[in-house]
Amino acid sequence: MLLAVLAGLIVSILYIPLGKYLRGRLAVLAALLPIGLFAYFASFIPTIQAGQHVHFHHPWVPSLGINLDFHLDGLSLLFSLLITGIGSLVFLYTASYLKGHRYLDKFYGYLCLFMASMLGVVLSDNVLLLFIFWELTSISSFFLIGFNNDDAASRKSSIIALCITMGGGFFLMVGLILMGHLSGNYSIQEMMSTNEYLKSHALYGLILLLVFIGAFTKSAQFPFHFWLPGAMRAPTPVSAYLHSATMVKAGIYLLARLQPVLGGTDYWMYPLIVVGGITMVYSAFHSIFRTDLKSILAYSTIAALGMLVFLIGIGTAESLLAASVFILVHALYKASLFLTAGVIDHETGTRDITQLSGLRKVLMPVSIAGILAALSSAGLPFTFGFIGKDLIYEATLHTAGILTAILTGLAVLTNILLLCAGFLAGIRPFTGKLPDRFHGIHLPHGLLWGAPLLLAVLGVVFGCAPFLVDGILFNPAAEAMYQSAIDSPLKIWHGFNLVLLLSGITLVVGTLLYVVRKPSAASLAAIERYNYLSPKHIIGQLARYARKISIYYTGTLHNGYLRVYLLRIIITTVLLFAIRLFMGGPIRLSIDHLSPISIYEVVVAAILIAAVYITVTASSRLTVVVATSVLGYCVCLLFVFYSAPDLAMTQFSIDTLTVVLFVLVLFRLPPFLNFANRRTRIRDGVVASAFGLMIALVAIQVLNQPIDTEVSQFYGDNAYTLAKGRNVVNVILVDFRGLDTMFEIVVLSIAAIGVVSLLKLRLKASEKE
Amino acid sequence: MSAIITLSLLAILVLYLGLFKARRALLPVSLLGLVATVVLYGVQWGKTAEPLYSGMVLFDHFAVVFSVVCVILTILVLLLSKDYFDKSSPHVAEYYALLLFSLTGAVLVVSFHNLAMLFIGIEIMSVALYILAGIRKKDFASNEAALKYFLMGAYSTGFLLFGIALLYGASGSFDLAAIKEYVVSNPQGISPLFYAGILLLIVSLAFKLGAAPFHFWTPDVYDGSPILITIFMATVVKTAAIAGFLRLFYFCFIPLQDFWVPVLLVMTIITLFVGNLTAIVQQSVKRMLAYSSISHAGYLLFAIVAIGATSANSVLFYVTAYSLSTIIGFGSLILVKRATGSEHFEAFNGLAKKNPYLSLAIAIAMLSLAGIPLTAGFVGKFMMFSGVLADYQVLLVVLAVINAAMGIFYYFRVIVAMYFKPLDRDAIVVSGPYRVVFFLAALITLLLGVYPAWLTGLI
């Protein structure tokens, strides 16, 4: 199982060195991988049908709780077969579609990487492992969307798609980690046993929100849906494979998988119904206005995804069964429609449906594929779509109370619109008159039309004989979501009842709509006038605002001025202290323990204040330097008063040196410019006072602290006994802290050398002048 | 301890080599010395650690692992510096010696057991860098960077000293064990001074780490300095700063969590937003990396907000992943700038066609910085997030996720430029040492991403 998941990864790595041999005729060989994997997963069908599950465990990073746990049950099997089955056809199709392309090998490499990660997503039992694969699908999708990389729009849409899906992925990661923390382990199967605890926990709502964001971004739900139409710039096989059949269903898969863990509450149900409902109606409505084939398909895909979310939200056995059937129904007809669109694009060079018509005359097998697929999407009897649609109506009709009418109404409306969209994409290009310029078209290589035709025919086969698949695929899949046995074989004929009536209404109204509405550029332009209301536009606008804020912020706050930076640091520090003081209760400042103030101190303080005033107001640098030196000397005096002559000495020499340095440097500075205006002065004054006040408060608090007198006691006691000196201060300076003194002298000497070199520098400069 | 001695002697030896004009020997000798240091650390591994030199330093596993990370990062930086400075100045010995001194300081910062050593380590580390930032004497940007870094650094040193003094005033010791003892034994009677001291230490350490709102110097200095010095600052210095930060807080301040966690929480959130909002609009890759390094400082702070037994491992992992990718990012920028003369995103256009392996390495680095699975960066982010979630700091994580999403945008711009933008350009010549560094860094990034257990159980 591990090998099966990682095979794609290994092959994609092998493509780096070996790719150049596989660009030509051998390219078809790439399809062997998905075909082989399809056969491998198909071999599990009997086991799953018997109600057993397959579990594989390989330890990987046990310390972080990430293990290679794979779990295969009905749901995983359905998805695995879908991924490998459609993958096989897409691989074959690509060999012909991109024949002779320079980077065909790279393309296959990305496709293999994608397939491996998608298989990883649907098979992982460990949520973190699931997340890792989940992000890898986004990465491979990024490279595939950007594959036509000469196109600026293509680059842009690839990065939008990546940002949305990966950003959503990070939210999902947090949600999954939270789930893991609360339930004590990261295995989904184990989480099911603690689901009651999870659902009753206070963080349940948040977990749901995070998981929903992850699933909605990936599965292109409103309001994150807009990346999907943009992603259609990718080559058509990619659109068919990633952006309709598999990758965008990863979000659906996740919801289906977590349904037994998190589901069953109102918080789970209503958001899903609402978001799914809005998405399906909104984008189904949009799909019929498009004129670009792939755009139509993109919007109808979003609508189908919305439908799936909606069905999972309802959460009854019927709706889950309907969801699992609809996954396959949709994958079959939508992939087929995409691949036919690819052929049309490949052969005619346009995807504009206002220009395409009558192609059945030149592309007969393709037109059969397109029409069959369109009929299946319409839900005509004896197609698979019919069964899917019946199940959906049955599911909505069996909901309780007022919901029945609303939900059924929504489903009918969506289906009508989808039918019309399906006809536009699958029937319109082939009917009518063939324009002259398309006469020269020949039927392409068999691989190109064989793949969509096979998918479309399968849709009819399953539609006529649902018993081929129901027991082996859908019932186990729905059971995995519902966690109890479901046994309702799919039927082609339910008898005359409300469901049939609704199906009939859908068909008739949808066909009428198709006949009446002619797609035109004008109506597209009309609807695009409302684009400013669309989420894409709003989010784009938000991004622009963020950009503006960011530019403004960078320009004003990171303006490169040191003084501004310092100001901010001071303000922050003062704020921190203010908050601390505020939180720490009343400030106790007592001056009881302090010594009385003498006249000397008063005088020195007065000089200090005068010096500060001069420093702030002076207009010449020299005055400022002198005034600051006065400040320094005053501090020296204070040290002397409080019997700290050593400190006073140090301070004195340093101050002198500083003044000398200052004066020397002053000569070399440009003239004094005063940048400050009144406002900045006041601001600086306020900030400086606040900072000073803060330091003062701290200092006074320090004084209130009981002083540990052991140190001075020690020196007093031991000055004579240890150092044979009577003057304690001297002994401290030259003996106890002799090394300190020595280094102070060294520092002063170095500073003196600096002074000398400055003096010399000045001389040289004057010589030059 | 022998490692610190080796480093200091090595730096002096390199200075002498410069004196005797043995320029060719500079790089080999420095590398040899650094490898010897790693070996000495390796020998020390596993022995019970005792505080050395009156409790000045303690080489426990934490210190050894982070020192080795710093030394290895320096080896990578030195490898990149072959030929880098020869062109601009004949005095290259100073460059090597100063880097080694700075590294010595960094090693002290991660292994201190006494606040005095923290101070000395930070100063040794920074003073060497003040000079290194301005090592291109004729370049105004380089001069400005050096001066700004010096002035701001000196300013933050004031806070550091004041903070240490207040802690000393309250607890009566510089020794970490004694301070811890003070905190533990006086649950009610912690002096207000002590709290003020913690605040001041937060300010100064956040400054060294480059966390908002004390981050203002980072973009200017990173942008102005020669790229190699920027690499050193963004990797080794950041590693040392966060390790020292964590060491101090983990050792001493855990019982006072309720006091300082809210402060750091707010700072972390501001840091994340500042880093990412500013990185988004940058047109220069160098400035983008500089601003984004601020946001990484924010993620690193997660480990301190959710401080606990696993914090050291998360920091180790995150900082290793971040540093390796940063080396590739800035290192490739040196090459691109040399070839095109520009540091803008456009300079990377079409690189993948001509230099597929270089581009692959850059792509891996960007993926790792963005936190994409199967790279080391993802595991780092995962460990940080899950650590904080274990503390139920849900708001922080949700905001961080928004930031992580923003990060994707600007990191992928480089990838888009390299892979998707067509441009006919000449292949860039990647010299041998650069190849080695890029190969090693990319390989380790992937290996750690695929099998993180190699690093997660170390401390």
pLDDT digits (tens, 9 = 90+) for A733-753: 788 888 888 888 898 888 888
Optimal mutation site among A154, A174, A570, interface B, most CBs of chain B within 10 A? A174
Model confidence over A355-367: pLDDT tens digits?
888 888 888 888 8
Please check whether residue A553 lies inside any domain of the structure. Answer: no
Token representation of residue B247: 């060491």
With helix as H, strand as E and coil as C, how does A177-231 read?
Answer: HHHHHHHCCCEHHHHHHHHHHHHHCCCHHHHHHHHHHHHHHHCCCCCCCCHHHHH
Question: How far apart (Å, rounded) are the C-alpha atoms in residues A120 and A124?
Answer: 6
Domain residue spans of chain B = 2-456
Q: Which residue has the higher pLDDT, A443 or A456?
A: A456
Q: Nearest-CA distance from B162 to chain A in Å?
A: 10
pLDDT category of residue A592 using cuts at 50, 70 and 90: low
Question: What Å distances lie between residue A582 and A559, A577, A578, CA to CA?
Answer: 32, 8, 6
pLDDT band at A585 (very low <50, low <70, confident <90, very high): low
Of A548-562, A689-703, B66-80, B183-197, the range with the highest mean pLDDT is B66-80
Return the pLDDT at B288. Answer: 92
pLDDT tens for residues B120-133? 999 999 999 999 99
Give B307-357 pLDDT, tens digit per residue. 888 899 999 999 999 999 999 999 999 999 988 888 899 898 888 888 888
The whole-number average pLDDT for the span A588-603 is: 75
**Residue A71 phi, psi (nearest 5):** -135, 125
Q: What number of other Cβ atoms are within 10 A of residue B440's Cβ?
A: 18
The mean pLDDT of chain A is 83
**Mean pLDDT score of chain B, rounded to an integer?**
89
Print burial letters for B13-31: b (CB count within 10 Å at least 16), e (below 16).
bbbebbeeeeeebbbebbb
- Chain B CA closest to residue A702: B193
Higher model confidence: residue B88 or residue B132? B132
Lowest-confidence pick of A265-279, A420-434, B266-280: A420-434
Q: Are B84 and B114 in contact (CB under 8 A)?
A: no
What is the model's pLDDT at position A619? 78
Q: What whole-number percentage of chain A has pLDDT above 90?
A: 10
pLDDT for position B243: 95
Mean pLDDT calculated for residue range A631-647 = 85
Q: What is the pLDDT of residue A707?
A: 60
Which tokens belong to A121? 């997503």
Minimal CA separation from A294 to chain B, in Å = 22
Q: Is the pLDDT of residue A493 over 80?
A: no
What pLDDT, on a 0 to 100 scale, did the predictor assign at position A766? 47
Q: CB of A565 within 8 Å of any CB in chain B?
A: yes
Which residue of chain B has the CA closest to A154? B420
User: Is there a contact between B26 and B96 (Cβ–Cβ < 8 Å)?
Assistant: yes
- Checking if the pLDDT of B161 tops 90, the result is yes
pLDDT-based confidence at residue A591 (cuts at 50, 70, 90): low
Over 70: is that where the pLDDT of B286 sits?
yes
Structural domain ending residue among the three candidates A494, A528, A562:
A528
Question: For B183, which DSSP code?
Answer: H
Q: Of all residues in chain A, what percent carry a pLDDT higher than 70?
A: 94
d(C-alpha B338, C-alpha A145), whole Å: 32
SS3 assignment for A396-461: HHCCCCCHHHHHHHHHHHHHHHHHHHHHHHHCHHHCCCCCHHHCCCCCCCHHHHHHHHHHHHHHHH
Q: Which residue has the higher pLDDT, A668 or A385?
A: A385
Is residue A242 scored above 50 in pLDDT? yes
DSSP class per residue in A287-312:
HTT--BHHHHHHHHHHHHHHHHHHHH
Predicted confidence at residue A96, as pLDDT, reads 83
Distance of CA A339 to the CA centre of its chain: 30
Set of chain A residues whose Cβ sits within 8 Å of the Cβ of B172:
708
Return the pLDDT at A546: 82
Residue B137: band (very low, low, confident or very high) from pLDDT cuts 50, 70, 90: confident
- The distance of B202 to chain A (nearest Cα, Å) reads 10
Please write the tens of the pLDDT for every residue from B413-437: 899 888 888 777 788 888 888 999 9
The confidence score (pLDDT) of residue A386 equals: 85
Q: Is residue A380 part of a domain?
A: yes
d(CA A232, CA A235) in angstroms, rounded, equals: 8
Which residues from chain B sit within 8 angstroms of residue A557, using beta carbons? 216
| Residues A458, A462, A464, A469, CA torsion sign | positive
Q: Residue A768 above 50 pLDDT?
A: no
What is the rounded (10 degree) CA torsion for B336, B340, B344, B348? -60
Flag whether the ipTM exceeds 0.85.
Answer: yes
Mean pLDDT, rounded, for A179-202: 86
Sign of the Cα pseudo-torsion (B401, A137, A321, A325, in order): positive
The model's confidence at residue A762, banded by pLDDT at 50, 70 and 90, is: low
CA distances from A39 to A35, A75, A81 (A): 6, 17, 9
- Amino acid B453 reads A
Nearest-CA distance from B452 to chain A in Å?
7
- In-domain check, residue A744: yes
The reply to whether residue A577 touches residue B155, judged by beta carbons under 8 angstroms, is: no
Residue ranges making up the domain that contains A305? 264-528
Do residues A378 and A507 make contact, with C-beta atoms less than 8 angstroms apart? yes
- A173 CA to chain B: closest CA distance, Å? 8
Given this model, what pLDDT does residue A767 score? 46
Map residue A480 onto helix, strand or coil: helix
Residue A737 lies inside a defined structural domain of this protein:
yes
- Give me the phi and psi of B207, to 5 degrees please: -60, -50
**Do the Cβ atoms of B203 and A550 come within 8 Å?**
no
pLDDT at A708: 60
Contact B199 A573 (CB under 8 A): yes
Among candidates B156, B213, B401 on the partner chain, residue whose Cβ is nearest the Cβ of A171: B401
Mean pLDDT of A157-165: 86
Among residues 144-173 of chain A, which lie with CB inside 8 Å of chain B? 146, 149-150, 154-155, 158-159, 162-163, 166-167, 170-171, 173
Instruction: Enumerate the residues of chain A whose CB falls inside 8 A of the CB of residue B453.
Output: 61-63
How large is the average pLDDT for residues B436-453?
A: 92
Q: Phi and psi dihedrals of A588, rounded to 5?
A: -100, 110
Nearest CA in chain A to B213: A569
- The Cα A21–Cα A15 span in angstroms is 9
Residues 648-707 of A with CB under 8 A from B: 698, 701-702, 705
H/E run at residue B458: none
Chain B residues touching residue A562 (CB < 8 angstroms): 148, 151-152
Q: How far apart are CA A581 and CA A589, in angstroms?
A: 12
* Residue A38 forms contact with B (CB below 8 Å): no
| A763: pLDDT strictly greater than 60 | no
Q: Supply the pLDDT for residue A440.
A: 78
pLDDT in tens, B356-366: 889 999 999 99
The predicted model gives A567-575 an average pLDDT of 87
Instruction: Find the range with the poorest average confidence among A514-518, A651-655, B232-236, B265-269.
Output: A514-518
For range B372-381, the mean pLDDT: 91
In the predicted structure, residue A471 carries a pLDDT above the cut 80: no
Nearest CB to B405: which of A170, A554, A708? A170
Element (DSSP H or E) covering residue A70: strand A66-72
What is the arithmetic mean of pLDDT over A698-704?
Answer: 75
Final residue in a domain of this structure, among A475, A505, A528: A528
Task: Give the integer Cα–Cα distance in Å for A391 and A323.
Answer: 9
Residues of chain B with pLDDT > 70: what percent?
A: 99
Under 8 Å between Cβ of B156 and B204: yes
Query: What size, in residues, is chain A?
Result: 769
pLDDT of residue A685: 87
Q: Collect all residues of chain A within an 8 Å Cβ-Cβ radius of residue B421.
A: 149, 155
Q: Which of B57-61, B191-195, B341-345 has the lowest mean pLDDT?
A: B191-195
Predicted confidence at residue A769, as pLDDT, reads 37
Q: Which residue would you say has higher pLDDT here, A566 or B161?
A: B161
| pLDDT interval class at B117 (50, 70, 90) | very high
What is residue B46's predicted lDDT score, i.e. its pLDDT? 75
Is the pLDDT at A632 greater than 60, yes or no?
A: yes
Reading the block at residue A499, the tokens are 């469901």
Cis amide leading into A223 (omega within 30): yes
Q: Which tops the pLDDT comparison, A276 or B455?
A: A276
pLDDT score, position A588: 63
Mean pLDDT of B213-228: 89
Structural domain total, chain A: 2
- Radius of gyration, CA atoms only, chain A: 39
Contact B416 A206 (CB under 8 A): no
| Model confidence band, residue B74 (pLDDT cutoffs 50, 70, 90) | very high
